Chains A and B, each alone.
Chain A
Amino acid sequence: MLYFDHCASTPPYEEVIDTLGEVMKAHYANPSSIHHAGADADKLISRSRSLLGELFGVKAEEWLFTSGGTESNNLAIKGAAKQYQSRGKHLITTQIEHASVYDTFKQLEQEGYEVTYLPVDRAGQVEIEALRMALREDTILVSIMHVNNEVGSVQPIADIGKLLQEYPRTLLHVDAVQSIGKLPIDLQGWGIDLLSGSAHKLRGPKGIGYLYVREGVSLTPLLSGGSQEHGMRAGTQNVPGIVASAKALRMAMQSAQERRERMYRLRQQLTDFVEAAPELILNGGAPESMAPHIVHFSYPGMKPEVIVHMLEQHGIIASTKSACSSRDNKPSRVLLAMGLGQERAASGVRISLGDEHTEQHILQLCEMLRLTISKLKPLERSAR
């Protein structure tokens, strides 16, 4: 099997699996218990938290562990919206956010908040000017993803943060689920107040999310219960998951540059093929504005599920849109927002790369794509 769905989930590092098992076996006590066994488990969480602080050059206390990217996004957005509603009820996000952000804003709209959804250009990027125009006195939160999970466009977070320096009452949340461990992130330099991540996207375990909450920012908790995670996230912590996720993050971040360069080369190899194939249209912008691990193209006139299933028959795993919304059959909201039209928006295929891939694998993939296209060609909607 050739797995090309790293945006959806990744194969965990061997060492991470070992850690998970060993910690699970040795430290099953509740980290909130007052006895030694509990204190030892709690120290493991502290050490994991310190590691996160160190990796991002911030304080350990500024990091929370959650159950995943979705919870991190929900907690950051709803928590900030509720906490700061006395300052205003206007929120800003983009039209291309992941469902866990987009639908959270939809929900807040029903609760009486006003939300501005910024448009993107054909390359999938928001414009700073549009954000500047949307900002108001009562804007309390701007939430913009770093890397789009569907097409891989990178948003200008540094510039956005710089603009928001002029708006000290407006918080900046960044959904960095697809960028942590792949692209550099400068929490303090970019003026980020809240940042979400997910361990299983960077070869860690499922069930663990990261959430950066800048010192001085408080969030209204989503869950009622104990005072775990600085009182912002009740519930017994997943100790083995937390330790393993910290390890995965360290491994990913320490090798990020080298892996990034490698992935960009493989990406180029694949996009060269896509651009040369007359049936396919590459989506997104110039290579330097795109994430290293995502290639997204449309096959107008073809149902993307068919391509995915045909590739699968040849042992190649790819995907249509984001896994979280791939079960519905509507055209992609993200591609529509990019102004690519119904046809292209309904025929997108996403290939996402991982560390295990080689040039040989990309060649194999290209070969299978060629084969698939030649089989499907007579069945294209326009050909009938």
Chain B
Amino acid sequence: MMYDKIIIRYGDLAMKGRNRGMFEKRMLQQLQLRLKDFAALTYSRMFGRLYINLNGENYALIAERVKDIFGISTFSPVVSVQPELEEIRAAALALMKAMEQEPATFKVSAKRAWKKFPHTSQEMNHLVGAHVLRAMENLKVDVRGPEVELKVDIQEEAAYIFNEVVNGPGGFPFGTNGKAMLLLSGGIDSPVAGWMAMRKGLELEAVHFHSYPFTSEKAKEKVIELAKRLSYYSGAPLKLHLVPFTEVQTTLAQSGQDPLIITLMRRAMLRITERLAEINHAHGIVTGESLGQVASQTLVSMDVIGRATVLPLLKPLVMMDKQEIINEAERLGTFATSILPYEDCCTLFLPKSPSIKPNLRFVEKVEGYLNQQKNLEQLLDEAVKQTEVLLLTPEDPEPEASAGEDRWF
């Protein structure tokens, strides 16, 4: 199909108030950044929408990227022709015929913005509709609930025709709502939480805790893979903080409070993340927790764990069912990586019956003791200091790309 434009629509609600100008500017920047490989594209802003002028570039390749750009609620490929009846009819029919699956019902919605055009909007609905109907035998008109709405927008310079509305991810343009830290475990949930947070305009830095030799190097590679995938969606390099957690974890494991290990561990992670957030000017912590999923995700546990930090804890998945989260992970392309059998936390440290109702006072008492006897606070500082930082992009080579000697391949 000879599309020459793409209409980009963003959520109306997002666009209210003084921030509107900033959002639109960010949206345009994001498009330009993500589509920089298509050199011929030009952009224009009109009536609260953005237009991409294709100038001969391939629509399908561009749509593949546009559908993942945050802030876009829907978009449509458009054919523009001379504002003249026969040209409009011909283009409308060609569009309908080019649909991959022929619809059973449709309606025409014409809008005459250029009042010198000889036919009214109502007349145009009939003139274009009848023309399409004559040529497509199995097609019927349904004005109430059509499968396809064929839109004809008549302006002075051109008539714009389209019949396809593709969903974008919605949300806000990337980075318009500040920065947060994401706890990225390597499991199914946290990448989904990360995507949902980014969709809301958050810039993220990921934090991963590893306990080599209690966990394997592969667990780390898996997290790198997930972070790379997330950075595809943000369109920006993603910072991944790899925190050495072995010392802290083994100390907690020797506290003599088996059922509380997970609670203590999660609190220690939040404390470390809070310090990293401060250093990196982030203002919240995103986690993949979902209410009731495991012992540390009961409401009581969330309460006791959450009190370890003063930063807002953002939990996009908190009310989602596991299957819904899995569906999202599959759609985002993180599921297959997440289910690789490399644990981020050694089962050695998992108590037989973790507390689902930890007592805050008691937990604080244990931590006080660990501070005095084992310098827990110092261990946390140490972990922050020894954190390794990687800057990841989707284009980064796979770890095996540097395996062995180049001359062997």
Q: B142 interface residue, CB < 8 Å from A?
A: no
Q: How far is the CB of B336 from chain A (nearest CB, A)?
A: 10
Q: B398 interface residue, CB < 8 Å from A?
A: yes
Contact of A47 among B216, B218, B400 (CB under 8 A): B400
B residues near A34, Cβ cutoff 8 Å: 216
Q: A44 interface residue, CB < 8 Å from B?
A: yes
CB pair B408 A19 closer than 8 Å: yes
Q: Secondary structure of the A side of the interface?
A: helix
| Residue in A closest to B218 when the chains form the complex, CB atoms | A39
Q: A46 interface residue, CB < 8 Å from B?
A: yes
Q: B37 interface residue, CB < 8 Å from A?
A: no
Most buried by B among A43, A46, A250: A43
A47 to B408, CA, bound (A): 10
Interface size on A, residues (CB 8 A): 22
Q: B404 interface residue, CB < 8 Å from A?
A: yes
Contact with A along B366-409 (1 / 0, CB 8 A): 00000000000000000000000000000000111101110111
Q: A109 interface residue, CB < 8 Å from B?
A: no
Q: A51 interface residue, CB < 8 Å from B?
A: yes
B residues near A15, Cβ cutoff 8 Å: 407
Q: A312 interface residue, CB < 8 Å from B?
A: no
CB pair A46 B407 closer than 8 Å: no
CB pair B403 A250 closer than 8 Å: no
Given contacts A39-B217, A39-B218, contact A46 B403 (CB under 8 A): yes
Tally of A-B Cβ pairs under 8 angstroms:
45
| Residue in B closest to A61 when the chains form the complex, CB atoms | B336
Give the residues from 173 to 228 in chain B that come closer than 8 angstroms, CB to CB, to chain A: 216-218
B residues near A19, Cβ cutoff 8 Å: 407-409
CB pair B403 A247 closer than 8 Å: no
A residues near B407, Cβ cutoff 8 Å: 15, 18-19
A43 to B218, CA, bound (A): 11
CB pair B216 A23 closer than 8 Å: no
Given contacts A34-B216, A36-B217, A43-B399, contact A250 B409 (CB under 8 A): yes
CB pair B398 A46 closer than 8 Å: yes
Q: A305 interface residue, CB < 8 Å from B?
A: no
A27 to B408, CA, bound (A): 12
Contact of A246 among B218, B399, B409 (CB under 8 A): B409
A246 to B404, CA, bound (A): 13
| Residue in B closest to A18 when the chains form the complex, CB atoms | B407
Q: How far is the CB of A175 from chain B (nearest CB, A)?
A: 26
B residues near A43, Cβ cutoff 8 Å: 399-400, 403-404
Q: Which residues of B contact A (CB under 8 A)?
A: 216-218, 398-401, 403-405, 407-409
Known: A43-B403, A246-B409. 8 other contacts (CB 8 A): A22-B408, A23-B408, A34-B216, A40-B403, A44-B400, A47-B400, A47-B404, A243-B404
Sample 22 A-B pairs with CB under 8 A, ordered by A number: A15-B407, A19-B407, A19-B408, A19-B409, A22-B405, A27-B404, A36-B217, A39-B218, A43-B400, A43-B403, A43-B404, A44-B400, A44-B403, A47-B400, A47-B401, A47-B403, A47-B404, A48-B409, A50-B400, A51-B409, A243-B404, A250-B409
Q: Which 7 A-B pairs have the closest CB atoms?
A: A43-B403, A46-B400, A43-B400, A47-B403, A47-B400, A19-B408, A44-B404
